[in-house]
Structure 1
């Protein structure tokens, strides 16, 4: 980084990934900053710059003291360990210290007295219980799909559907009384109670009673504006994975145009957007949503586009560029392992690639602030 790049950096002000400190004299205060960055996206602490972005500079004694504070904080003030890297940068003959804090790989991080802190814009705040679960999930210490379903009983499982599925997949017939044992063997239950994964795959249509956020909210709007009060069609869909996929797909299919593509006038036209594209993006939402984030999957159909929004940003710092190149991380690995026998899904990370190859007019939004992932499919024609 040169002086010009540094000046641009500090003139942009503090944000989620950048913190200014005029000076530091307390190891506990430094530890809180390191923990907050590690529990969020990582970032930089620039010491020797005030809150307004003016470079004050540090003396040689300041630098020695802060290095000692950094060492003390690392050994005494948080768990698990954090490994920041410090560097001295000179700007207009004034020295500042830049501490680079990586995004934590073993979240969540806490102070020795048990406080969990994260970044929120340019500030710090305590981590909520929902965020705590998501951080454990990111580090692989906890999976939402393995969460036991409170208030559920085995009558909530569609036994006929599961027995048929089991016979087709494993070529073995089970009795209804065998289902709890089979669920445990397949990681769909533990200690006699089925988990979210078991309910999501094989539950009956009363699943919303068991866990919030298992509906698909579908609306086909007039016009291009989400704020419009008029709509052509709407549906609230609940049930297991198979039902969610089939009915959500059917909603989209009946609310998009069909074009003849040179076919006979009396023949059924082709969907304006190829259905394999819809299948890939909708399956992605159903299988990779974050069950620790409250909310339903939403399908919005507008005159110029289709939006599929799923709760939870991309996991483990996956980026949109990553997924466009076929990189994938399974947030719900057990659900994904069964999905290819239930819906059109291959499970090799190529779904986004296939969708873009068939129909390039797709955009993605990975919103880490509000915590959602959105696929926007632009419709053909003059209404874009």
Structure 2
């Protein structure tokens, strides 16, 4: 394979190698690109003595030497080529062009663009034009309307991946505006917010007969994502077809495509419109809808080919840190391994993915599955329920209680502790439910045990 407009080869990472120039050129290029370290111009593979050390150096150089911040816009991974380790740097096209080397600023010495197989200086006229149209209305630049945010949930998720958040994590993860205020990305990732994430389930093929309306919002977007993934996985039952020769089993939807579709909707949703992603389960399909159509400058063919222009680079970075996202641009090609391009529907304001089920999910089947799932879930939840959730279930028992009443019965005064350790886990595990599910923040909201919760207590 030779160098192309999207592929650059470098033999070794040295101090003399102007890596920043190559990265800047791809950030400014509408399709992004890939830089390989360990391959020369002829395509011959050379040995890299310290791949891990070089990867750290690469990340450090991109982080500190390029502006605007490229965090969330690049990946650095090791690949095996001819039995030797090489380094692959995946660079997405950025939405805050022009990108430049900090040392030289927005000048022809600092800005570069990919032309053919080379990184060329960007003309000053192009620099000025790009800067005048730079995207400023992003979740990283919008000040959160609340500044008293806490991030206990985010910290726990990082700890689970054996990573820690230090005192500077808000700045390091770009959760602050240039003025030092928490931004909208921070608001989305905080323990409490007002973002409603719903998973609706309908009896038939239309939205006429709603049978479930599950609420997983008002918490860290990471927690909401995991809750939606768990709920959809529970709904994705195994369909069985018995033939004369064998018993064939297949899940209603591809696990891989569902996961990629859900995460894609969370990461690339246009939250500046204050419209969250939506997930709907019908008898013959699942629909995943996110706000915002294709990013400017990205065609449909480029979208399907895996070219990436992350709409929310702050979210992309954190989802990658927590291993919810793999390599940049890998999601859509992975979905296309299981579903056709016709499953994607583009409009001026939305992107919808429609995944058909392998067989009709009739009301009768739904009831049978519910019985089976209840038995399975009862066993699983019994093992997973924490001591706090058991206490909450015990004090509610056969009563219908408000949050303040439950807190009083549990002798808890710190509301965040109650929400994070008691109420939210109980709702997620389906042992309690809201009396007004369509209005989670209603002042008249109360809670009661579900049939599953009652069976657990028995």
If the TM-score is normalised by the length of the shorter chain, which range does it land in?
0.5 to 0.7
| Deviation of the 1:233 alpha carbon | 1.9
Q: Does the alignment pair 1:231 with 2:210?
A: yes
Q: Does the alignment pair 1:198 with 2:179?
A: no
Question: Is the 8 Å Cα contact of residues 153 and 220 (structure 2) preserved in structure 1?
Answer: no
| Deviation of the 1:261 alpha carbon | 7.2
Report the TM-score when normalising by structure 1: 0.53
- For 2:150, the equivalent position in structure 1 comes to 157
Q: Write the deviation string for residues 312-346 of structure 1: whole angstroms up to 9, x where unpaired.
A: 11111423322111122111112101212235212
Name the count of aligned residue pairs: 229
Report the TM-score when normalising by structure 2: 0.45
Q: Does the alignment pair 1:240 with 2:228?
A: no
Which runs of 5 or more residues in structure 2 are unaligned?
1-95, 98-130, 243-248, 363-458
State the distance in 2 between where 1:167 and 1:252 align: 23
Q: 1:215 aligns with which of 196, 217, 230?
A: 196
State the distance in 2 between where 1:301 and 1:347 align: 28
CA RMSD of superposed structures (Å): 3.4
- For 1:351, the equivalent position in structure 2 comes to 331
Judging changes above 3 Å, is the alpha-carbon distance between structure 1 residues 285 and 216 closer, same or farther for their aligned structure 2 residues? same
Judging changes above 3 Å, is the alpha-carbon distance between structure 1 residues 362 and 192 closer, same or farther for their aligned structure 2 residues? same
Q: Does the alignment pair 1:326 with 2:314?
A: no
Judging changes above 3 Å, is the alpha-carbon distance between structure 1 residues 231 and 345 closer, same or farther for their aligned structure 2 residues? same
Question: Is the 8 Å Cα contact of residues 170 and 176 (structure 2) preserved in structure 1?
Answer: yes
Judging changes above 3 Å, is the alpha-carbon distance between structure 1 residues 168 and 182 closer, same or farther for their aligned structure 2 residues? same
DSSP-derived class of the 2:280 partner? strand
State the distance in 2 between where 1:272 and 1:167 align: 31
- For 1:375, the equivalent position in structure 2 comes to 353
State the distance in 2 between where 1:235 and 1:165 align: 26
State the distance in 1 between where 2:308 and 2:172 align: 26
Judging changes above 3 Å, is the alpha-carbon distance between structure 1 residues 383 and 252 closer, same or farther for their aligned structure 2 residues? closer
Judging changes above 3 Å, is the alpha-carbon distance between structure 1 residues 383 and 244 closer, same or farther for their aligned structure 2 residues? closer
- The list of structure 1 runs, each at least 4 consecutive aligned residues, that deviate by more than 4 angstroms after superposition, is 166-170
Judging changes above 3 Å, is the alpha-carbon distance between structure 1 residues 198 and 164 closer, same or farther for their aligned structure 2 residues? same
Residue correspondence of structure 1 range 250-329 to structure 2 within 5 A? 250-260=230-240, 271-329=251-309
State the distance in 1 between where 2:210 and 2:274 align: 25
Judging changes above 3 Å, is the alpha-carbon distance between structure 1 residues 362 and 162 closer, same or farther for their aligned structure 2 residues? farther
State the distance in 1 between where 2:251 and 2:133 align: 38
Question: Is the 8 Å Cα contact of residues 282 and 308 (structure 1) preserved in structure 2?
Answer: yes
State the distance in 2 between where 1:314 and 1:137 align: 21
| Deviation of the 1:260 alpha carbon | 4.4
